[in-house]
Amino acid sequence: MAENRIGLLRWRVQARRHPSAFLLAAQLLSLILYPIFDETRSSGRVLFGALGVVVLMLAVWVVNRSPAKVWVAWLLAAPALGLSVLSVVLANDTLLVVSSALEALLYLYAASSLIAYMLGDHRVTADELFAAGATFTLLAWGFAYAYFVCQAWYPGSFTGALRPGEPRTWLELLFLSFTTLSATGLGDILPLSSPARVLVMLQQFAGVAYIAVVVSRLVGLTMLRATK
């Protein structure tokens, strides 16, 4: 019994020290498990939705630890969570699109709050290194949700090498987001409409700026500390 309490206390201490690590782990876990859930249709959608709820709560928690305003995060997260649950229960695609738009705003706001957190001092802590990874995934998720909304509002916005005339799946849009943000640009998912191309260009700019400003600064401060 005492050992369990000590273990739980250690987890709480680690969570307080490295909240960004838990957010990054949850996002990577959902990414790894998504192909399994995606193939099981409705049950998979519910399970992945549950993981999405965890990520949403962790995103709000991370914002709370940053200089950003947490009430803004809750203003986005609460309706996004409610509409997401209703979209699954009622099988309503309109509610899913609205919740996706709110989630896109939440993830981008959380990413900006982590950037402000990392730029807030001249020290590089372990949590800031985790925050660098979490910010990347938040940006990827945020733009993927933006692509999903764009596709719903402007049908035919994206095409691909496979089934070019069909709407892109969530995993394909997330793949496009990761390849665009990381500048790998594999090119099997392409934007066609003007709004989709504008979103892709904005993400390309965000990816270059993130590497140039945030990552390079963390690397420089880390090297500077190592030379002292």
Q: Per-residue pLDDT tens for 116-133?
A: 887 876 777 777 778 888
Which candidate, 175, 115, 112, 91, places its Cα nearest to that of 140?
Answer: 175
Q: What are phi and psi of 33, to 5 degrees?
A: -85, -15
DSSP string for residues in 72-125: HHHHHHHHHHHHHHHHHHHT-HHHHHHHHHHHHHHHHHHHHHHHHHHTSSS---
User: Tokens 């991370």 label which residue?
Assistant: 62
Q: Which residues pair with 190 in a beta bridge?
A: 159
Q: Which residues pair with 160 in a beta bridge?
A: 189
Q: Are 202 and 191 in contact (CB under 8 A)?
A: no
Residues of the chain with pLDDT below 70 are: 1-18, 37-53, 63-68, 121, 221-228
Q: Are 143 and 173 in contact (CB under 8 A)?
A: no
- Domain containing 64: what range? 2-227
Count of domains in the chain?
A: 1
Pairing relationship of beta strands 189-191 and 158-160 according to DSSP bridges: antiparallel
Q: Are 199 and 165 in contact (CB under 8 A)?
A: no
CATH number at residue 96: 1.10.287.70
- CA atoms in the 13 A half-sphere facing the CB of 101: 10
Angle between helices 216-227 and 126-153 (to 10 degrees): 170
CA distances from 23 to 41, 95, 108, 115, 207 (A): 26, 25, 14, 15, 20
